[in-house]
């Protein structure tokens, strides 16, 4: 037997095992990355939804405060007007 042929025959099994293992590991990493990307997209969508809800709540709060301030200003004007009428003989 030729030593070169014998060496190549003995290396086929370990090299094939190594390549198979690398293929399985790379496939696992690829699938895990895809799962992480999908999870990231879902989280981004949830964050965008929460931001929109928060902005809407801020707008509603600002509108409510503006109405209360205008109501108080109107009431103060009414009290000042009544006060001026009382002081005037």
Q: What's phi and psi for 88, nearest 5 deg?
A: -80, 125
pLDDT of residue 87: 65
pLDDT at 89 over 60: no
d(CA 28, CA 20): 12
pLDDT at 2 over 60: no
> For the segment 12-60, what is each residue's pLDDT rounded down to a tens digit?
888 999 999 999 999 999 999 999 999 999 999 999 999 999 999 999 9
pLDDT of residue 31: 96
pLDDT of residue 11: 84
């Amino acid at each position: 037997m030729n030593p070169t042929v014998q060496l190549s025959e003995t290396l086929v099994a370990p090299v094939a095992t190594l390549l198979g293992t690398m293929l399985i590991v790379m496939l696992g990493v690829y699938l895990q990355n895809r799962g992480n990307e999908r999870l990231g997209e879902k989280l981004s969508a949830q964050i965008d939804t929460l931001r929109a809800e928060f902005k809407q709540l801020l707008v509603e709060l600002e509108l409510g405060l503006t109405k209360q301030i205008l109501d108080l200003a109107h009431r103060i004007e009414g009290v000042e007007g009544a006060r001026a009428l009382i002081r005037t003989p």
